[in-house]
Amino acid sequence: MAGKAPAKKAVKKSPKKSAKKPVKKSVKKSAKKSAPVSFAKDIKPLFNATDVSHMKPMGVLLHNYSYMSDAAGGHAHAEAVKSKVQSGEMPPGAPWPASKVNLFIKWMTDGYKP
């Protein structure tokens, strides 16, 4: 029995999870224990009458909870809105500040609450 080193337990480092995470990094700052973002209370007021009236004929119903929270296509409606406000394309000529964009994103990551 001599001479043999005690069997080494292979302490495996926990495998790194793949870096494939959904995009939700901008929430950090407000992630403490803030109440979930509400569509009626927090999100709807972000869109003014001009936004709503210009987008309605294009079928983008900014003030409509069912439309905005629709899960179809991986929440395609909310994703499209997010993408436009994040890029600054919408509203045209009056890009949202990061605070508004982040609030919208938090509404999404909080689970599209009414």
Residues that bind ligand HEM (CB under 6 A): 47, 50-51, 54-55, 58, 60, 62, 80-81, 84-85, 89-92
Q: Which lies closer to ligand HEM via its Cβ, residue 14 or residue 99?
A: 99
For the bound state, the minimum distance from the C-beta of residue 27 to ligand HEM, rounded and expressed in Å, comes to: 19
For residues 39 and 65, the answer to whether their CB atoms sit within 8 Å is: yes
Of 27, 30, 83, 91, residue with least CA distance to 55:
91
DSSP-based three-state secondary structure for 104? helix
Q: Which lies closer to ligand HEM via its Cβ, residue 54 or residue 113?
A: 54
Q: Which lies closer to ligand HEM via its Cβ, residue 31 or residue 71?
A: 71
Of 70, 100, 72, residue with least CA distance to 86:
100
For the bound state, the minimum distance from the C-beta of residue 90 to ligand HEM, rounded and expressed in Å, comes to: 3
DSSP-based three-state secondary structure for 72? helix
